[in-house]
């Protein structure tokens, strides 16, 4: 008997969110669609497309040719899976190849024509953090774990405990880049393997001692390359043995089989897919190098990686737990920021934003938060020198590791801080793919006023004021007797009018 639709009338439904995460990797593009319900992430759909984007990077780090077009064509395919998704329910992150490509903005602009969602180029450290998050949320074990992810252009290393990463690093070695470097002609000779393994060990030299000293109880590998190697190792086990950890002995045995095959085209393993075959020898070399440098005894495989980490961060943000806020607070503490002053600037700046947001159409969801963090962190450069603090602060924020921030967010934050005082040099303001140029100018204007109006660093100094906003004009009105009694502030505001005219804003103060 078929159930009647009314049978489900009494079933209580829970609020759920449908989200998607796309990882634009150097070797493959991975899309994961999930449902977030009752605090858990339920995977609904996966799409994986082999692209080998890293092959398109020339020696000048220009992304070009067939690889670039493959990337754009793949995004057209993925766009079909994202139809109907709201912008804030999709997160797209790009990794090593677009980090290195000098024309990454050009690629992203073309991509936006077929995939109308922001593309974030994330740092290697942020990539490592998200990879660890994906593994930590899907693997439960006690003690510290080492997580390794071999990508097409970079390899990430993370030691963490529970949900917290303790040590993060990304190195420029991957299965596509090493294929081009050591196996470009397809030949599999012992000498080429030795050179590739040695190169990986050399790349590891700066980090190996620190990682070994911290230590771990369990080593977990992610990524398609490690999965392929893991599956090949399983084939060599005795009947009845399953999920056997990978050892250095097993990796060397596999390398011997590859060398005996003599050429990539002759790697005829049942579990090896056609698209994985060209890059697997290079990936094997990287993994052997890691085993030797870090003295890894055994490695297990986890299917969760970067995109799952992105999904879990989205789940965290839906429940108001933003890693970026923790990062900003940590920096404020580390650089001994005057929190009382930062809060004065923050309150004034956000008051201005609240008045200006609608009239200036500041719709991007990042704006309010980044403006607030700029107010909190604009004086981090005081630890270097009070003169030119805007330059010192911007330098710190541009170059420090900031978990949770993608490259565009970090650059916008540094840009706002760079121009919070003194002249505004239009030529020095970077262009952004995610953010409108006029919006960036207006955010700078609001932060500058927030800083200037609190220059006395006194809570009782600034009275309540009124704000009137037009397209290119900002009017700030104080109580009648306030400005006449503050000649220095009046002079400062007169000078500020000239500074703000550089970005097309007419400032009127009375």
- Residue 138 — pLDDT band, cuts 50, 70, 90? confident
Q: Express as a percent the part of the chain with pLDDT over 70.
A: 93
Residue 2 reports pLDDT greater than 60: no
Which pLDDT value is given to residue 431? 87
Round to whole Å and give the CA distance between 106 and 335.
36
Q: Express as a percent the part of the chain with pLDDT over 90.
A: 50
Round to whole Å and give the CA distance between 192 and 205.
20
Round to whole Å and give the CA distance between 16 and 20.
13
- Residue 183 — pLDDT band, cuts 50, 70, 90? very high
Length of the chain, please?
510
From residue 350, alpha-carbon distances to 275, 421, 451, 500 in Å are 51, 17, 12, 18
Residue 4 reports pLDDT greater than 60: no
Q: What are residue 165's DSSP bridge partners?
A: 160
Residue 161 sits at φ, ψ, to 5 deg, of -140, 130
Round to whole Å and give the CA distance between 91 and 465.
39
> Helix/strand/coil (H, E, C) string of 300-315?
EECCCCHHHHHHHHHH
- Residue 8 — pLDDT band, cuts 50, 70, 90? very low
> What number is the average pLDDT over the span 301-328?
75
Span 390-422, pLDDT tens digits: 899 889 998 887 877 888 889 999 999 999 988
> What number is the average pLDDT over the span 226-249?
80
Residues 6+ apart with CB under 8 A from 181: 196, 199, 282
Span 317-338, pLDDT tens digits: 655 446 778 788 888 888 888 8
Most confidently predicted of 151-160, 262-271, 307-316: 151-160
Residue 157 reports pLDDT greater than 60: yes
Round to whole Å and give the CA distance between 246 and 291.
10
Span 458-490, pLDDT tens digits: 888 888 899 898 889 999 999 988 898 989 988
Would residue 355 be called left, alpha or beta, if left means φ above 0 and alpha means ψ between -120 and 50 degrees?
A: alpha
């Amino acid at each position: 008997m078929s159930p009647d639709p009314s049978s489900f009338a009494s079933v209580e439904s829970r609020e759920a969110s449908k989200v998607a995460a796309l990882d634009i990797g150097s070797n493959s593009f991975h899309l994961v669609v999930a449902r977030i319900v009752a605090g858990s992430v339920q995977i609904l759909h996966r799409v994986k497309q082999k692209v080998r984007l890293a092959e398109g990077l020339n020696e000048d780090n220009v992304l070009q040719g067939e690889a670039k077009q493959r990337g754009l064509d793949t995004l057209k395919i993925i766009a079909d899976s994202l139809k109907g998704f709201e912008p804030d329910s999709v997160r797209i992150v790009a990794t090593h190849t677009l980090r290195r490509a000098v024309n990454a903005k050009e690629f992203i602009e073309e991509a936006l024509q077929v995939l109308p969602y922001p593309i974030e180029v994330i740092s290697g450290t942020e990539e490592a953090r998200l990879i660890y998050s994906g593994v930590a949320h899907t693997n439960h074990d006690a003690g510290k774990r080492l997580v390794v992810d071999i990508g097409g252009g970079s390899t990430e290393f993370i030691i963490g405990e529970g949900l917290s990463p303790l040590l993060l690093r990304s190195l420029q070695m991957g299965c596509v880049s090493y294929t081009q470097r050591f196996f470009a002609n397809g030949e599999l000779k012992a000498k080429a393997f030795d050179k590739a393994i040695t190169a990986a060990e050399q790349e590891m030299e700066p980090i190996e001692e620190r990682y070994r000293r911290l230590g771990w109880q369990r080593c977990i590998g992610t990524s398609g390359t490690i999965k392929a190697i893991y599956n090949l190792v399983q084939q060599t086990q005795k009947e009845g043995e399953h999920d056997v950890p990978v050892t250095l002995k097993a990796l060397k045995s596999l390398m011997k089989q590859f060398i005996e095959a003599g050429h990539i085209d002759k790697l005829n393993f049942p579990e090896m897919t056609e698209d994985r075959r060209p890059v697997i020898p290079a990936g094997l070399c990287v993994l052997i190098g890691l085993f030797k440098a870090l003295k890894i005894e055994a490695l297990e495989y986890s299917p969760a990686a970067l995109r799952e980490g992105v999904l879990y961060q989205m789940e965290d943000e839906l429940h108001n737990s933003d890693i970026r806020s923790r990062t900003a607070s940590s920096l404020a503490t580390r650089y001994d920021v005057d929190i009382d002053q930062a809060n004065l600037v923050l309150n004034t700046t956000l008051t201005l934003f609240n008045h200006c947001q609608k009239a200036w159409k500041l719709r991007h969801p990042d704006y309010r938060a980044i403006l607030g963090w700029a107010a909190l962190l604009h004086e981090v450069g005081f630890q270097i020198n009070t003169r030119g603090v805007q330059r010192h602060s911007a330098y710190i924020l541009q170059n420090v590791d900031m978990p949770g921030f993608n490259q565009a967010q970090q650059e916008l934050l540094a840009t706002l801080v760079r121009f919070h005082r003194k002249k505004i040099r239009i030529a020095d303001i970077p262009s952004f793919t995610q953010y409108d140029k006029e919006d960036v100018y207006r955010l700078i204007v609001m932060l500058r006023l927030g800083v200037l109006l609190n220059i006395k660093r006194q809570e009782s100094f600034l009275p309540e004021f009124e704000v009137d906003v037009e397209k290119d004009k900002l009017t700030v009105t104080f109580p009648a007797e306030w400005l006449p009694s503050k000649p220095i502030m009046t002079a400062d505001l007169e000078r500020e009018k000239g500074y703000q005219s550089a970005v097309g804003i007419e400032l009127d103060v009375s």
